[in-house]
Amino acid sequence: MMTDLLYINWNFNPRIIDSLNTPRWYGLMWGLGFYLGFEVLKRLYKKDGVPSDWLDKSFIYVLVGGVLGARLGHCLFYEPEYYLSNPFEILMIWKGGLASHGGAIGVIIAAILLNRNVVKGKVLWILDRLVVPTALAAGLIRLGNLFNHEILGKVTNSNFGFKFLRDEGVSTVDSETALTTLALRVTNATDVNGETYSDKINEAYAKLAGSPAEYAEYFDAVPVRYPAQLFEAICYFIIFGIIMWLFWKTNARKLTGFLLGVFFALVFGARFFIEFIKERQDGFDETLTTALNMGQYLSIPLVLIGLYLIFRNVKSLNRSDLD
């Protein structure tokens, strides 16, 4: 049917090498984001003619601050009861769980420490430059979420969207999903749990991808969802382009806090609206009875700060001060 062409059966394998549990494409996207961000920052610092040792120190501060902030943000914003009861699991970053709002706070703290110890007196100047590569890295990380089949969008109730066929979140046969049933059927298994589950379910995915007609009923059972991760990634790449244009083609880099304001207003503004088509995350989000979720509540103050930083400088923005 023509309507079938409106959705995509998303069966992308999150593992770079299928026979290994790690590494995953998500981790590669994180690493690529930091590498490309470093290259972008190098060019920005060169434009400003700053001391060469600032670059390496900036990278270390931001790497540590961003990762720690993102991890602590996830643990404290979304699942505080669990992680406060199991504090050692906060260190188990390989199990997943990173929050962009926490990452933003971590980078701000890193910039404050970098200013105190290295740059001296230019916190907003540092942040104006750090947000440029951060927008690029954020887009790559959201692509990693897409590859990992996580942060799913809501069901579209239409034929437009993605069918996320790899149900990575299912860990027991008590979950009545089409894919669990498929794993039992195509692998001739009587049970799928523990390590056996991982092996059998991946075999089922391969069968599903190779014989879509044979297992049509399982395709039909999987709902069509909004590709929220893809929408968010596209927004962040566009925002990266806007901030790069402002830095290179206008005098925005000379307006203290302006680029930081653009980043906050656009990134977290986009995040606020895209959250409406996302499924709520496990943990604290599930306890909220309001129309907004935790991600949106955290985005509002950052958008307001961004708008303040923009409007206090907007009259000074022009293209006549280029050097």
Confidence of residue 222 (pLDDT cuts 50, 70, 90): confident
Conformation bin of residue 176: beta by default, left when phi > 0, alpha when psi is -120 to 50: beta
Conformation bin of residue 193: beta by default, left when phi > 0, alpha when psi is -120 to 50: beta
Q: Look at residues 135, 130, 134 and name the one whose alpha carbon lies nearest to residue 57.
A: 130
What average pLDDT does the segment 25-39 reach? 87
What pLDDT shows up at residue 4? 53
Hunting for tokens 């409106």 — which residue is that?
6
Which two tokens mark 269?
């503004």
Task: Kindly report which listed range (38-42, 88-92, 103-107, 145-149) carries the lowest average pLDDT score.
Answer: 88-92
Helix, coil or strand: residue 163: strand
Helix, coil or strand: residue 153: strand
Helix, coil or strand: residue 131: helix
**Cα dihedral 16, 236, 258, 301 in deg (nearest 10):** -100
Q: Are 253 and 247 in contact (CB under 8 A)?
A: yes
Q: Look at residues 236, 279, 264 and name the one whose alpha carbon lies nearest to residue 142.
A: 236
DSSP one-letter string for 85-112: HSGGGGG-GGG----HHHHHHHHHHHHH
DSSP one-letter string for 6-61: GEEEE---SBSSTTSS--BHHHHHHHHHHHHHHHHHHHHHHHHT--THHHHHHHHH
Judging by DSSP bridges, how do beta strands 7-10 and 161-164 pair with one another? parallel
What kind and span of H or E run contains 228?
helix 228-249
What average pLDDT does the segment 79-84 reach? 76
Measured distance CA(193)–CA(278) in Å, rounded: 28
Q: What is the pLDDT of residues 116-135, one digit of tens each?
A: 888 887 889 989 999 999 99
What average pLDDT does the segment 38-61 reach? 88
Q: Report phi then psi at 184, rounded to 5.
A: -65, -40
Q: What is the pLDDT of residues 162-218, one digit of tens each?
A: 888 775 443 333 334 555 566 556 555 555 554 455 566 666 666 666 666 776 766
What pLDDT shows up at residue 187? 57
Q: What is the pLDDT of residues 142-159, one digit of tens each?
A: 998 898 888 889 989 888
Q: Are 260 and 309 in contact (CB under 8 A)?
A: yes
Helix, coil or strand: residue 115: helix
For 83-112, letters b (16+ CB in 10 Å) and e give beeeeeebeeeeeebbbbbbbbbbbbbbbe
